Structure 1
């Protein structure tokens, strides 16, 4: 991994809060009586302790009574006493990445206040449109800007085919083909890695996430992130990142690396799914019934588009699966939020 914010060498170089990702969004949350508290950004979350970085450098925070580290995510902004380092409160998050793993009832915090989510996949057996759609739904729901990064392009005859498949997944999606080991990789990602910007990387193990983090950190890194190979027969890699942490990158931004994950449960992501499947979202108001499931109802504009060859039937199948999964994983909700009635349309009785 790149130079960790917990290195003592950082303490000798005070930094502007804006370079850590501070903005008016967080400034506006400060109360007059909190003038004696200093903003800190969470750098690592451990079972029993938190580390953070402030304008004066890295610190270990003291948790108040009845608080637990599981309430915080890497990238969070908190207010703490600048002398005792006692944590006072967490500020409202601008964005938050939450993932649900199979068998888990509680979402797992993957990162907070992330501006761009790099979804890393490779041009081999790891490339899976359905899984990429899950990551995109996660990014959309979190409020982050998703960018798909295609690695291992040198292993296939035509990487552009993977690029075209990726571009078709969501309107306006940015897709970048790169070699994580190349010097050009950092330059290709510079638009999203400027001063004060925070990016996070997600994807399966073995697709080059750790290598890419090392490349973004630049040649001055002091502690390189371990990298591992992949099993050639199924393109599955070994887990080399086992925890989340915030790291400075050469462009002046910050990166949160996350452990590799091959399964991702979608929950409470109705709006993220609407953005992802915009072609279905835009057709839905044209259906005869406002609560149309696009499965069997007469006058369904979505199924009509499939029949006309305008809409990919596989996209509709995957949309239905994600909507059902999101609804089932969300307590107190009977269906997707996108099913509100539109004036002039009837509802089945």
Structure 2
């Protein structure tokens, strides 16, 4: 059957018609501009909706397949599906990409999700609340070019949510803060501004903060299993074990992710600067451009600490994230350079053997 992809091409206007199968998966002009009509028919676009050990689950117009590992893709990516050679399916340029340094001692980058419009950074109004962790997640979102929103769950169990909201707002003036009960109808109402048809949102946070409960609330069904938290330290138990997109009745796509025990930033200098733009503004007023904000004369940051207009704990967290990102980015760049050198060596050896054979 030859499918009509005219509605997916640049210049097509939705009007009042029903959204197409691809539009319900988040397809839009940013992706349509990357491909012509002939290629659309030969290699139809599909979106990665889940990651399995066996490969990538993709969905499109009349397509629901699991393709073997091969394309360097993550959940949320759009591929041009090559049915004859699925490993060769091309990944379209992304609107956004969330990544981190992979856990452990390796130097790899782990792709978390692509083409996300809004990230809900989730934490609880209990002992799990941690400003430093929120700053990490928000820096991750800013670096990826994604709109972050801080969501405080278990508001119904807290005696007073005001202190949590106040601390969360200190993370960045550019980030809205929403406190709610993750169960029932409240999440759908409180988050409706960001969960519009055709948009893709993601819940990020540690285990047990209510990400799966929030996803279920938006789906209007108990589609994802949930677990309680440990009473002694308010730490959560892992419920979600894979990253998967879910379609809500209202037409929004929701990504629920496993809790991250370790979130190491890499290549995130701009995102960190966005989170700590208050300190960055002070640093720009220092007498010396290479000021380390430790003992140097004319340091505007230290002056603000002394007069109480800046928080020394926030300064320490800024320094820590900067140092971590610089180290991770440098080691990853070093590995990439070694990989390029090794590849060049292999190609040279292969050519030498070929020349000898000739």
Which stretch of structure 1 is more off in the superposition, 318-327 or 75-84? Answer: 75-84
Q: 2:62 aligns with which of 56, 59, 66?
A: 56
2: CA distance, partners of 1:88 / 1:72:
10
* 1:89 is aligned to 2:90: yes
Counterpart in 2 of 1:341? none
3-state SS in 1 of match to 2:238: coil
1: CA distance, partners of 2:107 / 2:52:
21
Counterpart in 2 of 1:174? 176
2: CA distance, partners of 1:284 / 1:333:
27
1:80–1:86: 8 Å Cα contact kept in structure 2? Answer: no
1:75–1:113: 8 Å Cα contact kept in structure 2? Answer: yes
Q: Displacement of 1:324 after TM fit?
A: 0.4
Counterpart in 2 of 1:297? 296
Tell me: CA distance 1:135–1:18, structure 2 relative to 1, closer, same or farther (3 Å).
same
2: CA distance, partners of 1:121 / 1:299:
39
2: CA distance, partners of 1:317 / 1:281:
13
**Pairs within 5 Å for 1:1-349:** 15-31=20-36, 34-35=39-40, 36-61=42-67, 63=68, 68=70, 71-81=72-82, 88-100=89-101, 101-219=103-221, 224-331=223-330
Structure 2: gaps (5+ residues): 1-17, 334-358
Tell me: CA distance 1:250–1:294, structure 2 relative to 1, closer, same or farther (3 Å).
farther
3-state SS in 2 of match to 1:191: coil
Task: Summarize deviations over 1:148-170 as a string: whole Å, max 9, x none.
Answer: 11011122221011011101111
Q: Displacement of 1:121 after TM fit?
A: 0.5
Task: Summarize deviations over 1:281-304 as a string: whole Å, max 9, x none.
Answer: 112221111122222221111111
2:196–2:251: 8 Å Cα contact kept in structure 1? Answer: yes
Q: TM-score, normalised by structure 2?
A: 0.82
Tell me: CA distance 1:28–1:279, structure 2 relative to 1, closer, same or farther (3 Å).
same
How many equivalent pairs are there?
314
1: CA distance, partners of 2:166 / 2:121:
16
2:240–2:256: 8 Å Cα contact kept in structure 1? Answer: yes
Structure 1: gaps (5+ residues): 1-12, 335-349
Which structure is larger by alpha-carbon Rg, 1 or 2? Answer: 2
Q: Displacement of 1:104 after TM fit?
A: 3.8
Q: TM-score, normalised by structure 1?
A: 0.84
1:213–1:255: 8 Å Cα contact kept in structure 2? Answer: yes
1: CA distance, partners of 2:272 / 2:111:
19
1:38–1:82: 8 Å Cα contact kept in structure 2? Answer: no
1: CA distance, partners of 2:105 / 2:172:
28
2:97–2:114: 8 Å Cα contact kept in structure 1? Answer: yes
Task: Summarize deviations over 1:113-148 as a string: whole Å, max 9, x none.
Answer: 001111110000100001111111111111111111
Counterpart in 2 of 1:338? none
2: CA distance, partners of 1:154 / 1:282:
38
CA RMSD of aligned residues (A): 2.2
1: CA distance, partners of 2:89 / 2:160:
54
Task: Summarize deviations over 1:155-194 as a string: whole Å, max 9, x none.
Answer: 2221011011101111221111111112121111111111
1:14–1:55: 8 Å Cα contact kept in structure 2? Answer: no
Q: Relative contact order (C-alpha < 8 Å, sep 6+): which is higher?
A: 1
2: CA distance, partners of 1:102 / 1:83:
37
1: CA distance, partners of 2:169 / 2:87:
46
2:70–2:88: 8 Å Cα contact kept in structure 1? Answer: no
2:107–2:332: 8 Å Cα contact kept in structure 1? Answer: no
